[in-house]
Amino acid sequence: MTSPTSERLNALIAQSTGAQQAFLAALVKVPSDNPPGDCAPHAAAAAALLEDLGFTVERHVVPADLVTAAGMVTATNLIVRHRFGEGPTVALNAHGDVVPPGAGWTQDPYGAAIVDGKMYGRGVAVSKSDFATYAFALDALKRSGLPLKGTVELHFTYDEEIGGEVGPGWIISQGLTKPDYVLSAGFAYGVVVAHNGCLHLEDAYRATLPALVSQVDGIGSPQITVGLISGGINTNVVPDRVTFRLDRRIVPEENPEGVEAEVRDVIAQAAARFPAARVSVRQILLARPLVPDDASLRMAEIIRRNAAEVLGEEIRAHGVPLYTDARLYAEAGFPVVLYGAGPRTIEEASGHRADENLRLTDLTLATRVVAATLAELLA
């Protein structure tokens, strides 16, 4: 049975359906590809949209030297704080930077076209959708008149695609937030409580990895990919150097430093076969796995209960073989899970692929789940 609180919030969210879809479309229409990572214009557009909803928006411009070191051009982090009274702080984090569109689209990647109930565009599912989910969930709470206690913060950042260090990492390092709970961008039909870590290094190991299988549902085995190879100046010139970058996904049971040492050892053993070759290895990124704790599991159960009421089905708490900004909150000691608007899998949404899309009904449903969860956490 739907509670009076949920009925009130659902009615307010229903009233804002058109405005929420227009909000998301406006975000999709402003490019924020990373690389190159010139994301300040998108942050400016998002801030204006949030102010139109009546929120006060803090604009935190990340120092240029840190942005350049991260491989970006500009980065501005947005924070909204709405205080209902004394009580816990719940932070909602989503990222506005996106991977470049690439080829193969049948819709304009910046057009936000709606076809058969789905909105199309780069970032519409990962994760500009959760700018809209979180903003309109908070808007419904603000207008509800419910006797809530505590504060809701929106953290909208712009470097998830390259590691998060000048986004949530920077916000946390500057002491700009100390939340009791964190909800990070996700999908509507599952709540993520764990995910992989990741090691990026520049510089027959793969066959050993399937032997290790994570005990966390949804994670699987470690993976390694050579994601970038560069070298040479022409086909008829022997290259003086070759550079390649490795992406090694780290399952929750592994020690990240141990994984890096292992990969470096494999490279050193291979290099030893060629005494004249000079080999150097440089760490680009070390992202630790997200591992659930008691507080995050309690939050996941609240989300699951509200999702069952809204969706009419049970959703599971599980892991994913990805890495996200959520880990940065966990590393700082803040309980975090992932939940937001989207289908059952990133593949279904064509996330990071051509024709990325979002069912607009899923946007509404996820907003209802998030609003009900916030109301329960702040009751």
**What pLDDT sits at residue 287?**
81
Q: The pTM is what?
A: 0.86
Which residues, given as ranges, of the chain have pLDDT below 50?
Answer: 204-205
**What pLDDT sits at residue 75?**
98
**What pLDDT sits at residue 207?**
54
Matching fold, domains 4-195+289-377 and 199-287: no
Output the six-digit token pair for 233: 């100046």
DSSP letters for 192-260? EEEE-EEEEEE--GGGGGGG---SSTTT-S-EEEEEEEEE-SSTTS--S-EEEEEEEEE-TTS-HHHHH
The full set of domain ranges for the chain reads 4-195+289-377, 199-287
- Which residue, among 295, 285, 307, 258, has the nearest Cα to 70 in the 3D structure? 285
Instruction: Judge whether 182 and 334 are in contact, CB under 8 Å.
Output: yes
**What pLDDT sits at residue 288?**
83
Task: Give domain 4-195+289-377's CATH architecture.
Answer: 3-Layer(aba) Sandwich (3.40)
Output the six-digit token pair for 348: 């279904």
**At the top level of CATH, which class does the domain 199-287 belong to?**
alpha beta
**What pLDDT sits at residue 205?**
44
**89-129 pLDDT, tens digit each:** 999 999 999 999 999 999 999 999 999 999 999 999 999 99
